[in-house]
């Protein structure tokens, strides 16, 4: 019997669970698809899904387990839940911003946040940003915050400039 992760993120989709899992695993390099379960005849009067339709898809992104569920149109994603992608450099920020943002909600892009084509919110954040925002010198941290609040995609060079007093 396989060992199960104590906590796994479960993402509710209308009917795009398998498509979304394939998309996310194509974006993140250390990723894979796991088991897929399908609806049977039982419970059709409750779930309304045809027999053989994908019920759940297990997948991993950078070692983090997820389950994608085809649950129907009853629930939608909101910004109350988002996934943070911690990036080592600007090249990673640019890559994830572009890939995750393709086909997403352009109006939802702000301060490093974006919504993907499935309505799921992501924060694409350079690892240096939290360090700068938590600096004990309020002049440095507030200068970085001011610059960040004006951005859509986050820019490390602009943060460094603000942090060093050149904003």
Give me the tens of pLDDT residue by residue for the chain, a chain 167 residues long.
556 778 999 999 999 999 999 999 999 999 999 999 999 999 888 888 999 999 999 999 999 999 999 999 999 999 999 999 999 999 999 999 999 999 999 999 999 999 999 999 999 999 999 999 999 999 999 999 999 999 999 999 999 999 999 86
Query: What does the DSSP 8-state code read for residue 59?
Result: E
pTM of the shown model? 0.92
Domain count, the chain: 2
* pLDDT value of residue 38: 97
Q: Which of 156, 2, 13, 142 is nearest to 71 (CA)?
A: 13
Which of 70, 103, 123 is a domain's end point? 70
Residue whose C-alpha is closest to residue 111's, from 147, 140, 135, 80: 147
Sheet holding 31-38, edge to edge: 9-13, 64-70, 54-61, 31-38
Give the domain CATH number at 30. Answer: 3.30.720.100
Same domain, 65 and 86: no
Q: Phi and psi dihedrals of 22, rounded to 5?
A: -65, -40
Residue 2 lies in a domain: no
Q: What is the C-alpha to C-alpha distance for residues 11 and 76, in angstroms, rounded to an integer?
A: 10
Residue 1 lies in a domain: no
* Among 70, 97, 121, residue at a domain's last position: 70
Co-location of 98 and 27 in the same domain? no
Whether residue 58 sits in one domain with residue 88: no
- Beta-bridged to residue 123, according to DSSP, are 84, 113
Q: Look at residue 77 and tell me if it is in a domain.
A: no
* 8 A C-beta contact, residue 90 and residue 134: no
- Find the CATH number of the domain harbouring 111: 3.10.180.10
- What is the pLDDT, as a whole number, of residue 167? 62
Domain match, 57 and 88 both: no
In terms of domains, do 63 and 128 share one?
Answer: no
Q: Which of 114, 95, 100, 98 is nearest to 152 (CA)?
A: 114
Alpha-carbon torsion, ordered 141, 146, 108, 76, to 10 deg: 40
Closest CA to 18 of 3, 41, 37: 37
Q: Give the residues across from 61 on adjacent strands.
A: 31, 64
Q: Domain residues for 14?
A: 9-70
């Amino acid at each position: 019997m396989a060992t199960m992760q104590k906590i796994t993120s479960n993402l509710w989709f209308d009917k795009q669970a398998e498509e979304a899992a394939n998309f996310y695993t194509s974006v993140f390099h250390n990723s894979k698809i796991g088991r897929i379960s399908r609806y049977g005849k039982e419970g059709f009067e409750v779930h309304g899904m045809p027999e053989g339709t994908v019920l759940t898809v297990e997948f991993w992104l950078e070692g983090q387990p997820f389950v994608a569920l085809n649950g129907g149109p009853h629930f939608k994603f909101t910004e109350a839940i988002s996934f943070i992608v911690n990036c080592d450099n600007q090249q990673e920020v640019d890559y994830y911003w572009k890939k995750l943002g393709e086909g997403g909600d352009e109006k939802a892009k702000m301060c490093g946040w974006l919504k993907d084509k499935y309505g799921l919110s992501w924060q694409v954040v350079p690892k240096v940003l939290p360090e700068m925002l938590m600096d004990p010198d309020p002049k440095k941290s507030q200068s970085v915050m001011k610059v960040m609040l004006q951005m859509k995609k986050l820019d490390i060079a602009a943060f460094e400039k603000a942090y060093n007093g050149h904003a």
